[in-house]
Amino acid sequence: MHSHLHAPFSIRLGDQVPEDMKTIKCTGVRAILVKDNKLLMMKSNRGDYKFPGGGMEEGEDEVTALAREIREETGYTDFVIAGLAGTVIQAHPDIYLTDAWYYQTSPYYLVILKSDATQPLALTEDEIDHGFHAVWTTPKEAIQANEAVPINPFLNFYIERENLVLQVVQDRWMPKEETLHAND
């Protein structure tokens, strides 16, 4: 992996929140973890992929929340959060409240795995119901799988966001195809 940080990427999805509109704001931190030319992703029982991570709990900063989420979802315990890779902002009418907008900030951090040390998983009931499990894959494989899964705003609204970030990861931190085959 090219572990050096580039200037953080910035992606915006959706529309501007209308003035005077009730807004539901949340932050979900995400990990970009690459090892041996593979990316650690969370795969659901529908076949789609998302980056490990999740919401911040009361009193947590982004790095503390991300470290907790990595341990809970992947089991890995020996890693370094190297720095902010970029941010995605999503804004759209809320799917539950007709008089509100949903506004999510998703900072993505580069994470370096120092060893394969693990602890037992601590998945949420929702993550268990959707069959989420950590898998090593390539960005290309994850994008192709995500494109084959129908988007349901109640289940996997994250697919568009994750595919955009997967493309950035592929372009910035993964070896180019020709480089991989040059050593065969």
CA distance 1 to 136: 14
In this prediction, residue 4 carries a pLDDT of: 55
- Counting every residue, how long is the chain? 184
Picking from 47, 33, 28, the residue whose alpha carbon sits closest to that of residue 174 is 33
What's the confidence (pLDDT) of residue 166? 97
pTM: 0.90
- Tell me the DSSP string of 74-119: H-B--EEEEEEEEEEEEEEE-SS-TTEEEEEEEEEEEEEE----B-
Mean pLDDT, contiguous 10-residue spans, the chain (184 residues): 70 90 95 94 97 95 98 98 96 90 96 96 96 97 96 87 96 70 47
| pLDDT at 5 (0 to 100) | 58
Can you give the pLDDT at residue 152?
A: 86
Closest CA to 106 of 153, 42, 51: 51
So what's the pLDDT on residue 138? 96
